[in-house]
Amino acid sequence: MTDASTYTIRGETGDWEVVVGLEVHAQVTSNAKLFSGAATAFGAEPNSQVSLVDAAMPGMLPVPNRECIRQAVRTGMAIDAQINKWSRFDRKNYFYADLPQGYQISQLYHPLVGEGAIDISLDDKNPDQSGKRIGVERIHVEQDAGKLMHDQHPTRSYVDLNRSGVALMEIVSKPDMTSPAEAGAYLRKLRSILRYVGSCDGNMEEGSMRADVNVSVRKAGDPLGTRTETKNVNSVRFVMAVVEQEARRQVEVLEDGGRIVQETRLYDPDRNETRSMRSKEDAHDYRYFPDPDLLPLELDDAFLEECRASLPELPDTKRRRYEALGITPYAAAVLTAEVEAARWFDALLETGTKPVAAANWTTSELFGALNRTGTDFTTSPVSPAQAAELLALVADGTLSGSLAKQVFEIMLETGQGAGAVVEERGLKQTSDTGEIERVIADVMAANADKVADYRGGKDKLFGFFVGQTMKAMGGKANPGVVNEVLKAALSGTA
């Protein structure tokens, strides 16, 4: 695996390198919050999913949700990270209207998951040759805060505590990314892994996955520059935009003789710019200390073994398995990027369909149809079994490529199987040599001048005759037979 090419920003004083680290907050897939039994459904009425623990009522004690811990451990294992069998919760003290406790329960000094790594690629056609390994410093679990609502009243803000206490994994990368493209590739790959594992749904629009983007710039060979942190960026595209715009802003400040202030910033997608939010706090400002209401987490070997045994085949492993079946690296990368597509394709392979034909059809015909109809693999109007039936009819010569496209379109519209469509509509491919010979004779008679040109050396006209023959037969002629008979007829040997 080799490093991707270096991304630089050209300034008046020379080239500047960009250094990027991401802190990704991923909502843990669970039917309850981290320390209470309250629900976590998205879109519920404000303050309808709040327990006494979430509202910080006096005397309420937190109780860790085993499933949240399990999902975080499984995520750590998926990136080959160190799993700490002993970890501890800390209180992070700050005061804000949507934080009823006056502190957040998090993990600073002893996180659940230690160092790991995520492999990214900048070129799907050559994923192993264009890859880079991005280090992950840690994954810790913490509770989310609530949300302030500023649009409900002209002079007042309201507080919705539905998210208060929701379990988050904070996945902290090392500052190993050096371009917007690498940051985007890292976030896409991390999201893919989380969705394969099932520890987070990765829905960035709903806020269940968001990134804090740390950016600094420096001249080649210099120490790391002062970084800024742009908070709560909720799409891959916006993360890439933040890296580019914030890096350029910092270069301009430095080249004008200014200095970069370590601060928290916000991204305005409408203006495509970052804006200062507040000065960056250091750890001592939060007055961290061990949470006295929670015992340390101690994980036994049986729990860890169960977590590891529950992991699915992960994207890189699945991609390499597909490549070993003869599927191109590009098609394998496309098929494994999203877990739903990979599951659908695995089901197609289980029918016995030849892998290369299955991959080519899925990445071209099915992907195109899903994009066109605004559906996805979870709601695909064509099942793997129906696709297998269609491809089998192509393989045995019943359907030509063009006929298969027609049948597929009808399947999309009606939900019928391929065999039923072929029988009802009479779309079988014909290999009847006699019928094909008669049609070719008519085509040649209607285009005698082109026949003479072909026989005079204009070989490229062969495609014209193939097209005219297929058109005359409504696309139902077997192309192989057409080519064979047509060559003989044009050469005068038929």
As a residue count, the chain comes to: 494
- CA 201 and chain centroid, separation: 11
pLDDT on residue 4:
46
The residue written with tokens 């659940």 in the block is 112
Helix, strand and coil percent figures for the chain, each rounded to 5: 40, 20, 40
CB neighbour class for 123 (10 Å; exposed up to 12, middle 13-18, buried from 19): middle
What letters, b where the CB count within 10 A reaches 16 and e where it falls short, cover 199-238? Answer: bbbbebeebbbbbbbbbbbbeeeeeebebbbbbebbbbeb
CB 19 within 8 A of CB 180: no
- Other CB atoms within a 10 A radius of the CB of residue 445 amount to 9
329-336 and 315-324 helices, crossing angle to 10°: 140
- Other CB atoms within a 10 A radius of the CB of residue 351 amount to 14
For residue 355, CA distances in Å to 328, 377, 385 come to: 10, 18, 14
pLDDT on residue 372:
93
- DSSP 8-class letter at 235: S
Angle (nearest 5°) at CA 144 between 52 and 22: 170
For residue 353, CA distances in Å to 347, 395, 398 come to: 10, 9, 16
Angle (nearest 5°) at CA 238 between 237 and 243: 105
pLDDT on residue 2:
34
For residue 136, CA distances in Å to 21, 24, 113, 488 come to: 10, 11, 10, 65
Per-residue pLDDT 10s for the chain (494 aa) are 334 457 999 999 999 999 999 999 999 999 899 999 999 999 999 999 999 999 999 999 999 999 999 999 999 999 999 999 999 999 999 998 999 999 999 999 999 999 999 999 998 878 777 789 999 999 999 999 999 999 899 999 999 999 999 999 999 999 999 999 999 999 999 999 999 999 999 999 998 999 999 999 999 999 999 999 999 999 999 999 999 999 999 999 999 999 999 999 999 999 999 999 877 656 568 899 999 999 999 999 999 999 999 999 999 999 999 999 999 999 999 999 999 999 999 999 999 999 999 999 999 999 999 999 999 999 999 999 999 999 999 998 888 888 899 999 999 999 999 999 988 887 776 666 777 788 888 888 899 888 888 888 888 889 899 889 878 877 777 777 778 888 888 887 65
Whether pTM > 0.75 for this model: the answer is: yes
Residue 19 phi, psi dihedral angles, 5° rounding: -120, 130
